[in-house]
Structure 1
Amino acid sequence: MENQQLTPEPYPNVLHLPPPRSRPLDFTLSDNLPLLPSNWNFLSRPSTTPFPFLDRFPPELFHIIISQLDLASLHALRRTNRRAAELLYSHSEYNTLITYAWDAVRGTLCIDTAKNITCKQLYEKLCTKKCEGCGDFGGYLYLLTCKRVCFVCFSEKKRYFPVPPNLASRKYWIASEIVDTLPHMKALLGVYSPARVASVDTVFVDSESALNAGLEIHGSSDVMTETVIQKEMERINEYSRRRYEATFSEEEPKPFIEPPEVFLSRCDDRVNNPHRFLAIVRAPWFNRSKQLPEQGFHCRGCEDLEKMPFHHRRRFTATSFEEHLEQCGEIYHGRHTKFRSRNDEDEEDQGQDQGQDQDDEDPRVRNLGQLEMMALFRLWF
């Protein structure tokens, strides 16, 4: 079923999303899922065999049981026989998921997070309109921990940046045994991010969960940051020593000594990092009162802009768009009236706006990149 817009028409300054099949690729998990056959159907023929185990349950109890089951169990149940599939499709929440968020269901199965997400959890997120990171309209789901997100948040905020287990251990200095208990996923091979980078690593863990584990172990962010910086500098100094010895040794030339693993200051390339797109699927907001989905729409006055609050990837509903116009001004000649005045503000004001983001790093971590370069600089001069 095509997603319907709930926005009143006409609305002259909005850009509606094209139909899903003709929409430009975001290179998320949605765009890397295996293609379904053109003649594929949820239930091609009616059932002929009963399923006594489920048939004998009262409807109320059946609804409760299905809602609490994880998606992996429901997938296994659906494949039992046609009658089991029919019963599942009669469940209102599950039927809504396969109708409007089938990519989300398939995505959890492909990245191995389906066993951690229940039918009710995913349904509630489908019925959630706002991004959990900023409050904007959220047109995507982050399937590692099942959260509603917008493009700006999942492409920029650190909490939605899955990392390999060894990097999580280094960033927050937590034992590998603890990392193994964090929410994790298996990457689906494909091409991700606007940079169109092929995925390499296979297992990733949730950054926010790793951060919380680190804070619990170290007691405070200050202690954790000091520990991480100390350990990273030890790694860099050891690498510098080995390079120096290999370069100036009078013995036979030694094989080139590989650098240490990627420096922490370089482990996140923001929007172009493919890791950010590995667990992301497109998902409309399902309006329970009207029993219809909405994809949201973009603002014509923000087209081609990338600085908040004028970011071209923001989406709106009729209500939030009115609030957007109040904040940014009416649209004349394709631009908001407040755009130029906001664009002329000095960098200090922009820095203050960015400083309010709780995802901002500790200044000492930002300085770690300079320390890393200084350590390597000594090798050449």
Structure 2
Amino acid sequence: MPSATEFSDELVLSFSTTPRITFDMMIRDLPIPKRSRRILTSPTSSMGLLSRLPMEIRVAVLKLLDFQSLSRLSRTSLKAKSFVEGMRWYREVMKYSPKILAALGKTDLLKYHSSMLVRQVLSETKCVSCLQEFGGILFLPTCERICRDCLERNYAYHLTDVAYAEKWFSLTNEQLQSIPIMRSIPGFYKLRTSILHPESHQLVSIKQLRQLAIKVHGSPEKVAELLPPKSSMVVVDEELGIGLSKCGPFELLEEFHKAPLEPPGCDLSRLKFNGLLPDQYPGMASIHIPSITKYGHIEKGHQCRGCRHSMYKYSVGIVLLPIPGYDIPAGMAPMPILKALAVRLRAWKDFRDHVLQCEGVRRLLAGEKEETDEPDDPVQL
């Protein structure tokens, strides 16, 4: 394996693979929003009361507005249009990630997030859950960055429908209106599970649902009391008289009740996880998000061909335990950890450091035939 000094940027980049595994079954193929073509003919018209405010206060006010409100304001006059489109954070979001606005608009979530928050999340890099990995996914209801592992394993970032939230968290529809309610985009989705939703649903995030339930009922303890007896939700075989599954409705509701409201701050792929629990709405509130540096550099993250190679080598029985170069905790199944590494996104600097010590990269450089499920296909990010 070449020394660190012999790894050119070109060689390192050759081990970056198209992040097809991570993103191709989340929100995708959205048309990019276009600026209004409405012709305004009064260049001297004012911005109403906003025109009377000092510049600093005017800018501060506009930062609090969502992009939908800014768009409406820009259509009121040429002066308003010029002022809105002249704001740096507005231009940068429109330039670097207009698909975020398309996704927020299509899911009815645009009104919940200020324009400054949308721009701020573009400047961030880390996942808000594990606080370690590159957060290459935007979770739309909370407008937060998250990595693929945490999106799958942290139930705070799962979804449920409004009727379920009302029934099992003892909330009224009026109370639920105080948190973001998204309208899902029909289509085929896949994260840990895959599912076709030909119709739209009204969904809420478990994180915001739990926060609301605590606020309404008074405390986490009061919310915990809403969890019904397990026997009331277990599907029973009438002939055998036993529960049919340990991965049913009660277990899922129990996970929702235990969903953390604070960041776990660790690699969730190395903790025990019930991968058999159903996820009815996988990836339906998520879209790829780049990170924009202060110099305007776009960082989309890199997946490692070497880690993917190791995953498939193990899956077909070519590589056996213990796996050199991979620290698998005792009592843990290797495959979930290897898959987590294979789909993990890393910023360029972290990716370069990783490639220098990746066992899968070492094997590829030694001439092993690359194992993969299928050739990489370009994906629209």
Alignment correspondent of 2:151: 154
- 2:263 corresponds to 1:263: no
Alignment correspondent of 2:15: 14
The 8 Å contact of residues 110 and 188 in structure 1, kept in 2 or not, is answered as: yes
Q: Return the match for 1:29 from 27, 30, 35.
A: 27
Alignment correspondent of 1:376: none
Partner of 2:203: helix, strand, or coil?
Answer: strand
What amino acid does structure 2 have at the position aligned with 1:263?
P
Q: Return the match for 1:164 from 158, 161, 164.
A: 161
Partner of 2:124: helix, strand, or coil?
Answer: coil
Distance apart, 1:52 and its partner CA: 1.8
Alignment correspondent of 2:219: 219
1:88-103 counterparts in 2 under 5 A? 88-103=84-99
Measure, in 1, the Cα distance between the counterparts of 2:53 and 2:352: 48
Measure, in 2, the Cα distance between the counterparts of 1:104 and 1:63: 22
What amino acid does structure 2 have at the position aligned with 1:52?
S
Farther-moved stretch of structure 1 (211-220 vs 327-336): 327-336
The 8 Å contact of residues 182 and 206 in structure 1, kept in 2 or not, is answered as: no
Q: CA distance change for structure 1 residues 80 and 328 in 2, over 3 Å: closer, same or farther?
A: same
Q: Return the match for 1:145 from 123, 142, 147.
A: 142
Farther-moved stretch of structure 1 (60-69 vs 278-287): 60-69
Measure, in 2, the Cα distance between the counterparts of 1:330 and 1:191: 32
Alignment correspondent of 2:197: 198
1:100-249 counterparts in 2 under 5 A? 100-134=96-130, 135-174=132-171, 177-193=174-190, 195-200=194-199, 202-215=201-214, 217=217, 219-220=219-220, 224-225=223-224, 227-230=226-229, 233-234=231-232
Partner of 2:159: helix, strand, or coil?
Answer: coil
Q: CA distance change for structure 1 residues 114 and 44 in 2, over 3 Å: closer, same or farther?
A: closer
Farther-moved stretch of structure 1 (62-71 vs 115-124): 62-71
Q: Return the match for 2:288 from 282, 285, 295.
A: 282
Per-residue CA shift, 1:34-84, capped at 9, x if unaligned? Answer: x35xxx853669865324216776654443232111222113223445654
Alignment correspondent of 1:342: none
TM score, norm. by length of structure 1: 0.65
Measure, in 1, the Cα distance between the counterparts of 2:277 and 2:94: 29
Q: CA distance change for structure 1 residues 283 and 274 in 2, over 3 Å: closer, same or farther?
A: farther
Measure, in 2, the Cα distance between the counterparts of 1:62 and 1:219: 39
Alignment correspondent of 2:350: 320
Q: CA distance change for structure 1 residues 141 and 12 in 2, over 3 Å: closer, same or farther?
A: closer
The 8 Å contact of residues 171 and 264 in structure 1, kept in 2 or not, is answered as: no
Q: CA distance change for structure 1 residues 84 and 190 in 2, over 3 Å: closer, same or farther?
A: farther
Measure, in 2, the Cα distance between the counterparts of 1:214 and 1:326: 47
Partner of 2:287: helix, strand, or coil?
Answer: strand
Give percent identity, aligned residues only.
20
What amino acid does structure 2 have at the position aligned with 1:103?
K
Per-residue CA shift, 1:216-253, capped at 9, x if unaligned? Answer: 536345x64454132x534669x99xx99xxxxxxxxx
Farther-moved stretch of structure 1 (180-189 vs 119-128): 180-189
1:321-340 counterparts in 2 under 5 A? 321=351, 324=354, 331-334=361-364
What amino acid does structure 2 have at the position aligned with 1:78?
S
Partner of 2:341: helix, strand, or coil?
Answer: coil
Gaps of 5+ in 2: 1-7, 240-247, 256-274, 312-334, 367-381
Alignment correspondent of 2:299: 294
Q: CA distance change for structure 1 residues 332 and 107 in 2, over 3 Å: closer, same or farther?
A: same
Partner of 1:205: helix, strand, or coil?
Answer: strand
Per-residue CA shift, 1:316-358, capped at 9, x if unaligned? Answer: 123322554688657311399xxxxxxxxxxxxxxxxxxxxxx
Q: CA distance change for structure 1 residues 332 and 188 in 2, over 3 Å: closer, same or farther?
A: same
Q: CA distance change for structure 1 residues 189 and 79 in 2, over 3 Å: closer, same or farther?
A: farther
Partner of 1:67: helix, strand, or coil?
Answer: helix
Measure, in 2, the Cα distance between the counterparts of 1:158 and 1:103: 25
What amino acid does structure 2 have at the position aligned with 1:207?
I
What amino acid does structure 1 have at the position aligned with 2:187?
G
Output the aligned Cα RMSD: 3.9
Measure, in 2, the Cα distance between the counterparts of 1:143 and 1:329: 35
What number of residue pairs does the alignment pair up?
299
Measure, in 2, the Cα distance between the counterparts of 1:24 and 1:147: 17
Measure, in 2, the Cα distance between the counterparts of 1:142 and 1:270: 23
Distance apart, 1:314 and its partner CA: 0.8
Q: CA distance change for structure 1 residues 83 and 25 in 2, over 3 Å: closer, same or farther?
A: farther
Q: CA distance change for structure 1 residues 297 and 99 in 2, over 3 Å: closer, same or farther?
A: same
Q: CA distance change for structure 1 residues 181 and 52 in 2, over 3 Å: closer, same or farther?
A: closer
Partner of 1:29: helix, strand, or coil?
Answer: coil
The 8 Å contact of residues 169 and 175 in structure 1, kept in 2 or not, is answered as: yes
TM score, norm. by length of structure 2: 0.65
Measure, in 1, the Cα distance between the counterparts of 2:345 and 2:305: 11
The 8 Å contact of residues 138 and 289 in structure 2, kept in 1 or not, is answered as: yes
